[in-house]
Amino acid sequence: MNRIRVVLHLMTFLFLPVLSSSQTYFPESGAEALAQRFLDLRCRLNVLFVSLQPGFEDFASLSYFRLARGAKVLNAYVSNGESGESDVRGEYPLKLAATLREEASRAMSFLDVETFFINMPDVAAARDTVSVFSHWQPDTLRHRLMRLISAFKPDLILLPSDRSYPDGSPRWEVLRAVVLEAVKRLEPRKTAKELTTTGRLPRWSVERVWIGSAAKTVASLPVEREHLLWKKSYESIGEEAAGAYESLRIQRTLWRNAGRDRRRGEGSDTYRLAYPEHSSRLKMPDQGLPRPVSRRFRWAERELSSLNSFVSKGGKISNALKQLTVVMDTLDFLTARLFDLPARDRRIALQWKLNLEKLRLSLLGIRVHYSISDTIVTQRQLTFLKIDSIAGLPMSGRTEIFFPFFDQGWIINEDFAKRMPLTVGKEYRLLSPESIEYNLPNDEHGLDETSVGQMLFFFIIHTGETGERNFVYRGAMKMFYAPRFTVEVLNPIVRATPSEYLIVQLTNHSRDGVRDDIGVRDVIVSSEARPFRLNAKGQSHIDTLALRWSETLKESTYVFPVTIGATVVARFAARKFSTQVDTAKRIALVPGVKNSPIQDALRRLGVQWRLLDMRGELADQLSRVDVVLVDRRALTFQTELVQQRTVLQEFVKQGGHLLVLSQDAAVWNASPLVQDFQLRASPFFDEETSLDSIPTHKLLQDPNKLEESDWLNWLYQRSYNVVSGQALATAEIPIKTSFGGKPLVVQWHVGSGTITYVDLALQQQLLNIHPGAFRLLANMISY
């Protein structure tokens, strides 16, 4: 009978999502651990946050709900943020998406919050909600949200605002509408007329939906309060978690400041009630929640309150364990037919079972330290799990280890057993299945997964001489599955020019050594075969292949193979198109991020360029150049530039060309390079925004005549900002939007020189080797 009860207990653990605990704020034992365990048991609150993309979370509120309330919290992400930009380096969209997912997973793990990726396409900008729906099929998004809500069963849903556009955006409006529709469709049916189809999804009644708002009638959370034990505010703890976003470190600061300005100085996020639809005077989203438990579980709540009081007053741990065992056994008895319970009672019972077991572990002082040799495996490959130590393990009784993933095709110790005696310090040999679904490389195989990596669980089961000494510990291993050998092309699209090269990364995931040559072998393009040797598992090698092109190559887009011997191991794209540029122009670049796309674009145009040394004598450097090109977001990274505004103005007056690509609005407005010229981030300039131009303007004619086709097939968005200010009165506007006449390229003639400000979203187009973007850049350089 005991064995049957243990199996049922393990099934409870398997049905619950994994939450990776932070060692800082979620210890396994001690006074802090006990305080959090009792808080988790009292709360009974499930909170779902739905963020547009990684980096858009409300970290202060996440910290509050998890640490102040003890809620079970999940943060879902609609998209992976592939259309954005990194603060670290120029990134291709899929690489950036993989990086953001990994950072989001680490940030949420720090707060003991679960993550879920919905994996809709990233919509950087959209002129209206119809445009958003062309990217997000409403049925797909709604169904994924309904499945998530049905599985997680939240009491509260919170939608933080669009960080990039605190005044609102079409994508956020669409998300709000779809979330509300999903919630309403999952409401329990009350009459025969309510026949909304939900497939086989179990219904669930969400208590409230709150949406980010800066309006006067809003609710907020007390995130500025200090945690009683950690002596830090929930807001500051949230910011510690946000530190995982290395690639968004500067952007998050700008977004946070913009949001604070929008909320008239309020530091934390504010929300308004969107569901239920009747008006409410609630001052806090969680006010009055959770609802009282049903009569079935009132006894348990009383017993837990009594146990909490007993432990907090210094009661004997042995007596507390006896009281806890009675509660757990009674709960097991009353929930033996778990799936016959109402949905809310079933959720409470499952969470109590998990949290009661965690409380028992903390009372016993159980701390398990374990290690796994390899978290990246391929088919039929060994990895080794070692239980290094178990603090608090009783000397008497029987301790076993159980591997439920045996049923997924894993083999343990070359045997057919999945449960065996535990030996501390022994290595358990885990052989991966013959058939696995890859989730590495992340940007190739992982972007459709709802999580980063796959969790495998093992259980340490101790049966003591008395029931209060029993315990079940759940260990979690985050595993990644990869082919035995991978070849990644780090610049997957190139321009067919004499100076072009391909960067490849080779990784050996097997334990067999690999030695061969890699290269490009095609009648149109080829490279020298480059030897490589990877002797060890996990060893990686990056190489550069210089490309040689056939002179007969016609203008088009091609796909070519990368080969090892006669085997195709990867492919890359190449575009051939003609572009004229004044190669005599001497160009100084004020760089933005490392490896910015503009640097590769200048190389591909074949022009003379150098980096401007902001620490050196600027006037002397400018005397030897014709064009100063200020890269996208350069003012954000090169803060010294604004101090050289007088030197730059003199450079222009003497006949130089100051060419400024789009900048972060807040940074520009604080210290603009052009007076009386302001920027405001806009969510409306999508990639299909139609344009009006002055056909005879030199920027559109010389040396390349731009055609209508040069504006087609842009990626993600056309522009970043709305520009305004009195400076427009004296400016030429060679390119503007057709609707509303919003300037996108602005030019001033100052003295003998010119200032050109370009707000077009050129970076992604240059990464994509877009012919029109290259021709426009060539014209601007040649001006």
In angstroms, the CA 451 to CA 101 distance is 8
Whole-number pLDDT of residue 200 = 59
Please, what's the b/e burial string for 446-476 (b: 16 or more CB within 10 A of its CB; e: otherwise)? bbeeebbbbebbbbbbbbbeeebbbbbbbee
Average pLDDT, integer, range 401-420:
96
Question: What are the Cα distances from residue 686, in Å, to 126, 160, 161, 682, 714?
Answer: 5, 22, 20, 10, 9
Looking at residue 19, its pLDDT comes to 41
Sign of the alpha-carbon torsion through 146, 439, 81, 72? positive
Query: How high is the pLDDT of residue 263?
Result: 67
Q: Binning pLDDT at 50, 70 and 90, where does residue 261 land?
A: confident
Identity of residue 320 = A
In angstroms, the CA 349 to CA 276 distance is 26
Q: Residue 551's pLDDT is what?
A: 79
pLDDT at 16: 44
Beta strands (DSSP E) in 188-309 are: 208-212, 219-220, 270-275
And the tokens for 531? 């030897």
**How do 219-220 and 367-372 pair as beta strands?**
unpaired
703 prior amide bond cis, ω within 30: yes
Structure tokens at 663: 């900048």
The pLDDT score that the predictor gives to residue 624 is 96
**Tokens linked to 735:** 């390119």
Tokens of residue 222, six digits: 């007390």
Task: Report how far residue 177's alpha carbon sits from residue 182's, in angstroms, rounded to the nearest whole number.
Answer: 9
On the question of pLDDT at 417 being above 90, the answer is yes
What is the pLDDT confidence band of residue 266, given thresholds at 50, 70 and 90?
low
Cis peptide bond upstream of 290, omega within 30 = yes
Q: Is the pLDDT of residue 719 over 80?
A: yes
In this structure, the number of other CB atoms found within 10 A of the CB of residue 416 comes to 8
Separation between Cα atoms, residue 642 and residue 637, nearest integer Å: 11
In 3D, which of 296, 253, 332, 333 has the Cα closest to residue 10? 332
- Whole-number pLDDT of residue 216: 66
Closest listed residue to residue 564, CA positions, set 492, 523, 510, 504: 504
Cα separation, 773 vs 386, in Å, equals 55
Q: What is the pLDDT of residues 198-251, one digit of tens each?
A: 455 678 999 999 999 877 668 999 999 999 999 999 999 999 999 999 999 999
Q: What is the pLDDT of residue 113?
A: 98
| pLDDT for position 20 | 45
Find out whether the peptide bond into 441 is cis, omega within 30 degrees of 0: yes
Could you tell me which of 89, 55, 83, 95 has the C-alpha nearest to residue 637?
A: 89
- Written as six digits, the tokens of 225 are 């309060």
pLDDT digits (tens, 9 = 90+) for 536-582: 999 999 999 999 998 788 999 999 999 999 999 999 999 999 999 99
The pLDDT tens digits of the residues spanning 453-486 come to: 999 999 999 999 999 999 999 999 999 999 999 9
687 contacts 715 by C-beta, under 8 angstroms? yes
- pLDDT, tens digit (0-9, with 9 covering 90-100), for 339-392: 889 999 999 999 999 999 999 999 999 999 999 999 999 999 999 999 999 999
Contacts of 416 (CB under 8 A, 6+ apart): none
Buried/exposed 653-676: b ≥16 CB within 10 Å, e otherwise: eeebbbbbbbbbbbbbeeebbbee
Closest CA to 738 of 691, 694, 686, 700: 691
Q: Decide if pLDDT at 194 tops 50.
A: no
Residue for token pair 């990726």: 117
Give, in degrees to the nearest 5, the angle at Cα 269 between 263 and 271. 90
d(CA 174, CA 141): 10
- Are the C-beta atoms of 735 and 691 separated by less than 8 Å? yes
Split at pLDDT 50, 70, 90, the class of 590 is very high
Share of the chain above pLDDT 70, in %: 94
Using one digit for the tens of pLDDT, what is the confidence trace for 424-461?
A: 999 999 999 999 999 999 999 999 999 999 999 999 99
Q: Which of 107, 110, 175 is nearest to 141 (CA)?
A: 175
Decide if 487 contacts 570 (C-beta within 8 A).
Answer: yes
Residue 80 has pLDDT above 50, yes or no: yes
CB 406 within 8 Å of CB 420: no
**For position 203, what pLDDT does the model report?**
82
Confidence band (pLDDT; 50, 70, 90) for 621?
very high
